[in-house]
Copies of this chain bind each other. A is one copy, B any other.
Amino acid sequence: MADAPTAEPKEAPEKDKAPPKEKMTLVVFSGELDKAIAAFIIATTGASMGMDVTMFFTFWGLNILKKNEGPAGGKGFFRKMMNRMNRGGPRRLKLSKFHMFGMGTGMMKQFMKENKVPSIDEFIEMAQEMGVKMMPCSTSCGVMGISDDLFRGGIGDQAGAAFFINEARESKVTLFI
């Protein structure tokens, strides 16, 4: 399916022959600002090149899909505590290095703005407009006690690893980020 176009050795631009679109699948495991930027640059560039892109958010990556406002969520005392520390929302993401109590992260955001790189909030909206599918991992949501109402609108339904694998094995590009 996804491989069909490569049967020809030339790898002609897939826009010439309409169906099917080439697929890209990204597992977004990390919830750090730098990795989130990388994931969204790849996803939106892929979509702009005509690919059918699915982002599968798991573990700390779920933070990216959480609302900037609202309760931290989680059922029971310990999950509440974990989710409070691990609050999420695009504006709370930190650099994996040089966070420095917010200074490094703030500088990076400033550099991004100066270079016209969208913020994560803007990237999510762009991706949604471009038809990028963004699905939260159901197992992670279960373990962390995260319910759908903690996520922003327009996000896909929760899906499990079998869904991811089915997408991935039809994809030309699959990355674990």
Seen from chain A, the residues whose Cβ lies within 8 Å of a Cβ on chain B are 1-4, 6-9, 11, 13-14, 19-20, 22, 24, 27, 29, 34-35, 38, 41-42, 45-46, 48-49, 51, 58-60, 78-79, 81-82, 85-86, 96-98, 104, 107-108, 110-112, 115, 117, 138-139, 142-145, 160-162, 164-166, 168-170, 172-177
Instruction: Identify which of B49, B86, B111 contacts A165 (C-beta below 8 A).
Output: B49
Whether B170 and A6, one on each chain, are in contact in the complex, defined by CB atoms closer than 8 angstroms, is yes
Copies of this protein chain in the complex:
3
Query: How distant is A120 from chain B, measured CB to nearest CB, in Å?
Result: 14
A-B contacts besides A3-B160, A60-B96, A115-B139, 18 pairs, CB < 8 Å? A1-B11, A2-B161, A2-B172, A3-B139, A4-B6, A24-B169, A29-B38, A41-B139, A41-B161, A49-B162, A49-B165, A49-B166, A78-B111, A86-B97, A117-B139, A168-B172, A169-B172, A174-B174
